[in-house]
Chain A
Amino acid sequence: MAMREKNSPQQSAEQIKTPEMKKTSAENLALSKLQEMETEVEDIKATGTQKAYDGNTTKKLKGISQKAEGLMIDTAKEMQGTLSSSERALKAKTRRPSYIDEWVAEKEKMLFEKEGIKHEPIRRPKVDVEDLHKMQAERMSGLAKIGKVMKEMEEDKEKGAKGFYRRVEDLYNALPDEYEDTPEINEQINKVLTYSKKFLNMHSRHQISLSGEQVDGVQSIIDILSKNKKNIKEKLTPLFEEEKAA
């Protein structure tokens, strides 16, 4: 009897699992929720494409699918944050739930590729300076596209994003080609920087809802404004180049 139990299919599966595969229950929960989330979002996408709708309806339904995808990525990031911060609080050895990292990166890549932006996923477990620079450079090449997304944010009042693109644009226009270290310019830079941070905080407190791509756009602006101020004008240029060409 005991032998029969030992050889049951469930037990065999348990035995096959390596220690790495035996996740804690919180991690297991996160993983199962990620899968459920993916199913929910796929379902929304499928509902929006199962019939041939007219142009306007298709556009609206596409917007809903994009919002769902953005929500899925943001939620996954939030779940990931919960797991890692708790681990830090425990002062345990950092064992990052890398499978969630990979999942988020894969979904982000999918979204970026859809918009035609070359995107290198963030490899958090082992980031070196060279990787960071490479990532930053690729982000910059995608800035023009992000500029377009932000322009749409400006027009989309529902997102509460009204004025964000305009503020960055005003700053860009006010900046001289050669950076001058004047209190006026620095004050202007700091104002936009504070506004951008506030904007992301509003998103994390669920006061506004931004897609993963929009969050990335705002984060890029924060990165540019808070690093070497001498190159700000040059770095912001791709954002507005498309506008000028149009």
Chain B
Amino acid sequence: MAKQNPKDPEEEKIEKLEKIWKNFQKKIAQLRIEQLEIIKQHNKKRDEEKIKKLEKELNQ
């Protein structure tokens, strides 16, 4: 009977930790995207206001 090699507990721990880490990275990446979207919207609004102001000055 061929003996099944039991998985090294240390290896198992590392595998679990890697999985948790990947999950964290995925979630943190989502948060970064959300953050960039907020900043992007802010900048867009700011630029639009600047253009409006300049157009108003030109028309005066």
Contact = CB atoms under 8 A, between A and B. Distances in A.
B36 to A, nearest CB: 8
B16 A82 contact: yes
A193 to B, nearest CB: 28
A33 B24 CA distance: 10
Interface in B15-59: 16-18, 20-21, 23-24, 27-28, 31-32, 34-35, 38-39, 41-42
Contacts of A75: 20-21, 23-24
By DSSP majority rule, is chain A's interface helix, strand, loop, or mixed?
A: helix
A26 B17 contact: yes
B25 to A, nearest CB: 8
Interface residues of B, number: 22
A53 B41 CA distance: 11
B13 A83 contact: yes
Contacts of B14: 25-26, 29
By DSSP majority rule, is chain B's interface helix, strand, loop, or mixed?
A: helix
B38 A86 contact: no
A153 B20 CA distance: 25
A30 interface: yes
Interface in A175-197: none
Interface residues of A, number: 32
B42 A79 contact: no
Contact of B24 (A53, A57, A71): A71
A44 B31 CA distance: 8
Contacts of B35: 44, 47-48, 61, 64
A44 B32 contact: yes
Nearest to A48: B35
Interface of B: 9-10, 12-14, 16-18, 20-21, 23-24, 27-28, 31-32, 34-35, 38-39, 41-42
| The 10 A-B residue pairs with the shortest CB-CB distance in the complex, in nearest-first order | A26-B13, A75-B24, A82-B16, A57-B42, A64-B35, A86-B13, A60-B38, A78-B20, A33-B21, A26-B14
